[in-house]
Chain A
Amino acid sequence: MSALLFYILGFIMLAATLLCITRRNPVHAVIYLVASFFALAIMFYLLGAPLVAAFEVIVYAGAIMVLFLFIIMMLGLAPQETPEGPGWKRWGPLVLLSSSLMICTLMLIFQDPAASKEIGAFYLAPQAVGEALFGRYALAVEVISFQLLFATIGAYMLGKPLSKGDQ
């Protein structure tokens, strides 16, 4: 069961990524990348890491993809001409990939809880992550906090309006 899901998810990921790098429209490419990230998230869950799966969705599919979209819009990379009318050719593959993703998720939800215990060689509970992060790696977490501070100020510096001295 989980091996079958693994191969289906692997195929979805490969197909979505391949479609992503071959799209001429960068916005469409981002949408395919989101589908690929969702497949990756479910795969992390299959491997016994539910917390990583949740973060894959929250951080990568959510936040990082928003940033990609903003950069595409900011640089004006999207093609100006719009193809005529609705077409299966444009959104058909995406519908196919995301509906198979949804079927995989439903299969995971509805499978026997007794069988799901056998998923993966190990199971990394969120509690264990919390214990390691705030116990052994306490200092590293504070260092990450500083890095996020640099990122905040760096993002502001990159995007701030030009002052009079700069011009």
Chain B
Amino acid sequence: MLDSYLPILTLIIIALGFSVAVIVLSRLVGENKPSAVKLAPYECGMPPVGSAHEQFSIKFYIIAMLFIVFDIEVVFMYPWAVMFKRLGLFGFMEMGVFILILLVGYAYVWKKGALEWE
């Protein structure tokens, strides 16, 4: 069992070693002359437009909240999935009802246009 993890451990050590070595080497060898332009946040190569700390639209909140609801729905699917065969038809029907009830909410918000980004 331990042997199967060895390649992953090797990869982690190489990745860590390489990134640390590059940072330390550039610190030791390279020159450090910070200026206002160099310290500016990178924004796709363009000069930054305004501050990143702006008020965001409530539309993001609705999408995030709906994501959480369906995330929690999926949480109930994991214990169901590992016992799928043992639970049989009863478990299948139960999960069907569970999803059907949530589907009503999904259809409602879809119909109301909460998922539209206009």
Which chain A residues numbered 64 to 96 have a C-beta less than 8 Å away from chain B? Answer: 64, 66-67, 70-71, 73-76, 78-80, 82, 84-86
B15 at the interface (CB under 8 A from A): no
Q: Are A155 and B62 in contact (CB under 8 A)?
A: yes
- What separation, in Å, do the CA atoms of A124 and B62 have in the docked complex? 35
Interface flags for A38-82 (1: CB within 8 Å of B; 0: not) read 000000000000010011001100111011001101111011101
- What separation, in Å, do the CA atoms of A141 and B97 have in the docked complex? 10
Q: Are A149 and B102 in contact (CB under 8 A)?
A: yes
Q: Are B98 and A141 in contact (CB under 8 A)?
A: yes
Chain A residues contacting B68 (CB-CB under 8 Å) are 59, 63-64, 66-67
Tally of B interface residues using CB under 8 Å: 54
Which chain A residues numbered 143 to 163 have a C-beta less than 8 Å away from chain B? Answer: 144-146, 148-149, 151-153, 155-156, 159-160
Which chain B residues numbered 73 to 118 have a C-beta less than 8 Å away from chain A? Answer: 73-76, 78-83, 86-87, 90-91, 94-95, 97-99, 101-102, 104-106, 108-109, 112, 114
The chain B residues found within 8 Å of chain A, CB to CB, are 1-2, 5, 9, 12, 34, 39, 51, 53-62, 64-69, 71-76, 78-83, 86-87, 90-91, 94-95, 97-99, 101-102, 104-106, 108-109, 112, 114
